[in-house]
Structure 1
Amino acid sequence: MAKVVAVVSGGMDSATLLYHILDEGHEAWAISVDYGQRHVKELDFARQLCEGVGVPHQVADLSAINPLFGNNSLSGREMEVPEGHYAEESMKQTVVPNRNMILLSVAIAWAASNKCQAVAYGAHSGDHAIYPDCRPEFADAMDNAARLCDWNPIELWRPFVHMDKGEIAKRGFDLGVPFEKTWTCYKGLELHCGKCGACVERKEAFSAQGLPDPTRYDG
């Protein structure tokens, strides 16, 4: 059994990741990051998920660095969140520069300070085309860095990196993940918009596996 810090955003992938780690018999700690994202309400969902399984949860407030991320539709407010499928070029407007390296660096620091053996995050194959910091090559490089950044080597786990969103949804369903208590939509309104790339992918994930979708969509 290992002591593992899981990066938990409050979405489907990280919720399944958390349940997966516990199912494997590991001791899980969870960290979420406030980087000034438009959909900051996801952090409330992360907290509820962690409370539901009795996992310690920390929120790292990095909102002060928000201006460094430039003009994108997730950390900024001037650009509208694009609607459509992730395959569309417009989805690149949702890229927050170097986000995963920043999130993982904070998680690795917390893991090192508590003598944890690993940090885990839920990057998957469907993210590769749009988000360069979800590629296996990036994860491999971060794994190497994590093993060298402290006298206590830390591994970077990414169990879903070769899975698609549907496969993750199936794994979560089998584990009993309460998907109705997760948040995906980039717009961060009262309900999931049903139209942004994240919502479209969420719908497709449940549909592809023939699973019931408990999400309330506005459209």
Structure 2
Amino acid sequence: MKKAISIFSGGLDCTVATSVFSKSHKIHAITFNYGQKAFKRELKASKEICKKMDWTHEVIDLPWLANISNSSLNTNEKIPELSAEDLDNLKISQESASSVWVPARNTVFTSIALSYAESIGASSIIVGWNGEEGATFPDNSKGYMKKFNELIKEGSPENIRIEAPLIDLDKEEIVKLGVEYDAPMELSYSCYKGKKKQCGICESCMRRKRAFKNLGIKDKSEYEN
């Protein structure tokens, strides 16, 4: 069976993306600790999902990234709270994305995943990058993925590719795909704030909640709001 590295936060997107490859690849999931407020909850979700799916799991600490970041994800700055209407307002969404931006996060994560892929003979790096978030996060975009794959082809002696099965999908389509592949979405944790129950009002929670609601599918996660 082929091997794959999954950049895995325990969130909805990476859970669905990794589940797509689960039957055809032996999964080695990596969860990064960069001082984010939600790390403990992300770790709990990641461990539970990996145990259920029989995926290998590892944590990598990046204290230096926490030290240089001024993101609201890992500082005392307040995480933005959005209304349902705000999600389709590009200006507000861009402001929210700017607040939670961690310097070169996906570039750092993917570079480390590439190193792991080379070391264990993995052919794929699975990511949860998707079309909906790619509109405001440049390191979630199809163009970014294309350039990174070109970089790997140029700079790695191994035949390794980034695989992003959600790259053209919005959240509703992601949830549909999760149902199709029987992804353990009920164990995933998407909230930026890191509370026991997901807050329900940060951008990540709002996009998740809207997708399940619009599809008429029950989200078994617990929310404060």
C-alpha distance in structure 1 between counterparts of 2:214 and 2:153, whole Å: 37
TM-score normalised by the chain length of structure 2: 0.91
In structure 2, stretches of 5+ residues that fail to align are none
C-alpha distance in structure 1 between counterparts of 2:109 and 2:19, whole Å: 20
**Matched position secondary structure for 1:33:** strand
Which residue matches 1:56? 56
TM-score normalised by the chain length of structure 1: 0.93
Give, in angstroms, the shift of residue 200 of structure 1.
0.4
Which residue matches 2:13? 13
Q: 1:81 aligns with which of 34, 55, 79?
A: 79
Residue deviations 1:158-183 (CA, integer Å, cap 9, x gap): 11100111111111122222222111
Residue deviations 1:135-164 (CA, integer Å, cap 9, x gap): 111111111112233221311111110011
Contact 2:38 2:192 in 1 (8 A): yes
C-alpha distance in structure 1 between counterparts of 2:162 and 2:130, whole Å: 14
Identity of aligned residues (%): 28
Which residue matches 1:177? 183
Contact 1:95 1:130 in 2 (8 A): no
Which residue matches 1:193? 199
Q: Which structure carries more relative contact order (alpha carbon 8 Å, separation 6+)?
A: 2
Q: Which moves more between the two structures, 59-68 or 110-119?
A: 59-68
Give, in angstroms, the shift of residue 113 of structure 1.
0.6
**Matched position secondary structure for 2:149:** helix
Give, in angstroms, the shift of residue 214 of structure 1.
0.9
Which residue matches 2:161? 155
Give, in angstroms, the shift of residue 65 of structure 1.
2.4
Task: State yes or no: 1:206 paired with 2:204.
Answer: no
Which residue matches 2:4? 4
C-alpha distance in structure 1 between counterparts of 2:134 and 2:54, whole Å: 32
C-alpha distance in structure 1 between counterparts of 2:107 and 2:13, whole Å: 18
C-alpha distance in structure 1 between counterparts of 2:7 and 2:26, whole Å: 14
Aligned residue identity for 1:116: A
Give, in angstroms, the shift of residue 209 of structure 1.
2.0
Contact 2:191 2:199 in 1 (8 A): yes
Contact 1:81 1:196 in 2 (8 A): yes
Task: State yes or no: 1:37 paired with 2:42.
Answer: no
State the aligned residue count: 216
C-alpha distance in structure 2 between counterparts of 1:216 and 1:118, whole Å: 33
Aligned residue identity for 1:169: V
In structure 1, stretches of 5+ residues that fail to align are none
What is the 5 A alignment of 1:90-169? 90-91=95-96, 92-169=98-175
Contact 1:167 1:209 in 2 (8 A): no
Contact 1:48 1:181 in 2 (8 A): yes
- Looking at secondary structure, tell me which structure has more helix per residue: 2
